[in-house]
Chain A
């Protein structure tokens, strides 16, 4: 079979042009210009659905020594209900059921939203107990967001919500 080296060069040129182009192009915009990202992400285990019970001395005595614990807690935990408002409008919201066969696992929350850069007032609130009506954790803060800034809202039970 005959070969045409000029045509071969043309074919290599076309192939490499395609490789060179698609290895970087078209450019992709992940975040629109002038926007910032708000991420509400934390791990937290809801409170027990029923309160822990104090075990009496008589009851403890009936138990084998290795099972004697002063409190007895039912395993099921409450769902986590969390909400983030920006300038009075709901921005992120979820109700996460505790995982696990007995509904006793910790919950991982990861919610994000892009927002216009600028000054915003955020209110974040959470309910982690079915025995409490409304929200038992609330925090609010005004933040001046720069374009492409990442506002990370974390939570831990000791400090509550933290804006990072």
Chain B
């Protein structure tokens, strides 16, 4: 299977981080890491605000005092404030790159992508107002540049940029910028963040503790090695010439030296719109949504708890049956992952053995009945001493590439779609072992598929794999499309383990005889 170049690059990067960080891989926690950096920004910002003097004459001097007179506290806080802000933008850009490279912005997931793009600009404008508050030469440059950008919009009367030439600035200007930076913009950002994660369930905002500690130590080290400093104080009678631009936040301003403000707006709005429309470029047909069959649904709510995209809701029973609840699926929110099928205890292949298997919730494109039939037929076709059935997912390593005389791969919509009872069913119907693949460990195309699957097999999340099922005959090995070597090696190890098991069982039987 051809892996797109961008995805190949991303997977190589992810691999490298997996070697270093394991499950703390920062690429798996870019959203929460961004939140963490915002916490650092917030705490350091509160400290700076205590000592900051928000006036035209006092701003620069107060920042200078914070930076130099109390370098051990205020200076470090200022550096943390800057570098955590920069790191947040870095994480947001990586987050966008990741979702795009892994094709996780299409279908029902358009909403998170669409609402995420403006967040980048919100963060950038928050950083810009922060730079204004220092009121040094850099602040002067970006203040005038921002005024030119505002003047190009047909919503303001008069020329804002002229205020900076006439010396018409007053302390009220600082109060306005302070209000925006300290209250207005952060509140808007929090509100927009809430929108961004609105269609996700089990949202986490904290990265793993080890990753948070490592990131904070790294930020501290950078703050000590390269403390954030100001330029010369702003002087509106001269033009700032050369300065150290923060390219994470201020990259748009140099464009104003070459283009008109109107052209810069067209470029930024154009890029923003293009990014926002990416989920529909090109338009794709989404897989059919999950379907509830009330005849087999007892309203246990497990699918509701497990759905990663909040597509399932619980309501009072409508069909007069004795159960208290029933579930409904909102098709527009359903990502067609099938995790709900794996969560449903009626997706049990031992039920309705002589007739069509029906589940309380099912995927029209791959019903549990078809899954049971496929399991049976693939097992029946296997020959050799050690028969292994491998369940994989559409978005990870293609397990049908492992097909051989002794191995058969079955592709699910997601590894989280696998009912634990199907593993038991396979083992009882001729499989010597079952391997469950899927996306790489700690990652999942559908957010929680492999995590829920692992918890179900470990007996930590319903529906659990029964305790009497021999765990030695089950192995889990996730892998991306490019991980053929890793998955094959794991399969070989598993086969070896099963051989030992089969031999010891044969010996046991011989001794019994």
Please report which residues of chain B, range 252-281, place their CB below 8 angstroms from some CB of chain A when the two chains form the complex.
254, 257
Select one of B83, B162, B210, B248 contacting A41, CB under 8 A.
B162
Query: Counting CB contacts under 8 A, is A20 at the interface?
Result: yes
Query: Counting CB contacts under 8 A, is A1 at the interface?
Result: yes
Taken together as a complex, chains A and B put the C-alpha atoms of A164 and B164 apart, in Å, by 13
Say what secondary structure dominates the interface of chain B.
helix
Query: Counting CB contacts under 8 A, is A152 at the interface?
Result: yes
B241 touches A29 (CB 8 A): yes
Contact with A along B5-22 (1 / 0, CB 8 A): 000000000000111111
Taken together as a complex, chains A and B put the C-alpha atoms of A110 and B441 apart, in Å, by 58
Contact with A along B141-184 (1 / 0, CB 8 A): 10000001001000000110110011000000000000000000
Chain B residues with CB under 8 Å of A39's CB are 165
Chain B residues with CB under 8 Å of A53's CB are none
- Contact segment of B211-219, B423-431, B445-453: B211-219
Show the binding face of B for A, using Cβ within 8 Å. Answer: 17-24, 26, 82-83, 86-87, 90, 141, 148, 151, 158-159, 161-162, 165-166, 210, 214-215, 217-219, 221-222, 225-226, 228, 236-248, 254, 257, 441-442
Q: Quote the shortest CB–CB distance from A154 to chain B (angstroms).
A: 7
Chain A residues with CB under 8 Å of B236's CB are 150
B83 touches A20 (CB 8 A): yes
A30 touches B24 (CB 8 A): no
Select one of B226, B242, B442 contacting A29, CB under 8 A.
B242
A7 touches B221 (CB 8 A): no
B158 touches A43 (CB 8 A): yes
A-B pairs with beta carbons under 8 Å apart, 12 shown: A1-B442, A4-B19, A7-B19, A8-B24, A24-B245, A28-B244, A30-B141, A30-B243, A31-B241, A43-B158, A149-B237, A150-B238
Chain A residues with CB under 8 Å of B441's CB are 1
A19 touches B83 (CB 8 A): yes
A25 touches B244 (CB 8 A): yes
Closest B residue to A2 using CB positions: B22
Query: Counting CB contacts under 8 A, is A22 at the interface?
Result: yes
Chain A contact-residue range equals 35 or more
Chain A residues with CB under 8 Å of B151's CB are 108, 110
Taken together as a complex, chains A and B put the C-alpha atoms of A38 and B112 apart, in Å, by 47
Chain B residues with CB under 8 Å of A7's CB are 19-20
Query: Counting CB contacts under 8 A, is A66 at the interface?
Result: no
Q: Quote the shortest CB–CB distance from A7 to chain B (angstroms).
A: 4
A16 touches B221 (CB 8 A): yes
Taken together as a complex, chains A and B put the C-alpha atoms of A111 and B196 apart, in Å, by 41
Chain A residues with CB under 8 Å of B162's CB are 41-43, 108, 110
Taken together as a complex, chains A and B put the C-alpha atoms of A39 and B86 apart, in Å, by 34
Chain B residues with CB under 8 Å of A3's CB are 20-22, 24, 210
Closest A residue to B159 using CB positions: A108
Query: Counting CB contacts under 8 A, is A10 at the interface?
Result: yes
Query: Counting CB contacts under 8 A, is A36 at the interface?
Result: yes
Taken together as a complex, chains A and B put the C-alpha atoms of A98 and B86 apart, in Å, by 43
Chain A residues with CB under 8 Å of B246's CB are 22-24
Chain B residues with CB under 8 Å of A24's CB are 244-246
Q: A19-B87, A43-B159 are in contact. Are A11 and B239 (CB under 8 A)?
A: no
Q: Quote the shortest CB–CB distance from B294 to chain A (angstroms).
A: 41
Closest A residue to B217 using CB positions: A12
Select one of A1, A4, A22, A148 contacting B239, CB under 8 A.
A148
Q: A3-B20, A16-B219, A19-B87 are in contact. Are A149 and B239 (CB under 8 A)?
A: yes
Taken together as a complex, chains A and B put the C-alpha atoms of A39 and B90 apart, in Å, by 37
Closest A residue to B247 using CB positions: A22
Chain B residues with CB under 8 Å of A42's CB are 162
Q: A43-B162, A152-B165 are in contact. Are A12 and B239 (CB under 8 A)?
A: no
Taken together as a complex, chains A and B put the C-alpha atoms of A24 and B166 apart, in Å, by 30
A10 touches B20 (CB 8 A): yes
Q: A15-B218, A16-B219, A23-B248 are in contact. Are A31 and B90 (CB under 8 A)?
A: no
Taken together as a complex, chains A and B put the C-alpha atoms of A150 and B210 apart, in Å, by 52
A28 touches B218 (CB 8 A): no
Query: Counting CB contacts under 8 A, is A89 at the interface?
Result: no
Taken together as a complex, chains A and B put the C-alpha atoms of A11 and B24 apart, in Å, by 12
Q: Quote the shortest CB–CB distance from B27 to chain A (angstroms).
A: 11
B22 touches A1 (CB 8 A): yes
Q: Quote the shortest CB–CB distance from B399 to chain A (angstroms).
A: 21
Query: Counting CB contacts under 8 A, is A55 at the interface?
Result: no
Contact with B along A138-164 (1 / 0, CB 8 A): 000000000011101010000000001
Chain A residues with CB under 8 Å of B244's CB are 24-25, 27-28
Q: A27-B245, A110-B151 are in contact. Are A154 and B166 (CB under 8 A)?
A: yes
Known: A24-B246, A110-B148, A149-B239. 9 other contacts (CB 8 A): A3-B20, A12-B217, A16-B219, A20-B83, A22-B86, A30-B243, A31-B241, A43-B159, A149-B237
Taken together as a complex, chains A and B put the C-alpha atoms of A162 and B216 apart, in Å, by 54
Query: Counting CB contacts under 8 A, is A18 at the interface?
Result: yes
Chain B residues with CB under 8 Å of A110's CB are 148, 151, 159, 161-162
Closest A residue to B226 using CB positions: A20
Q: Quote the shortest CB–CB distance from B138 to chain A (angstroms).
A: 10
Closest 5 CB pairs of A and B: A1-B22, A7-B20, A24-B244, A12-B218, A3-B22
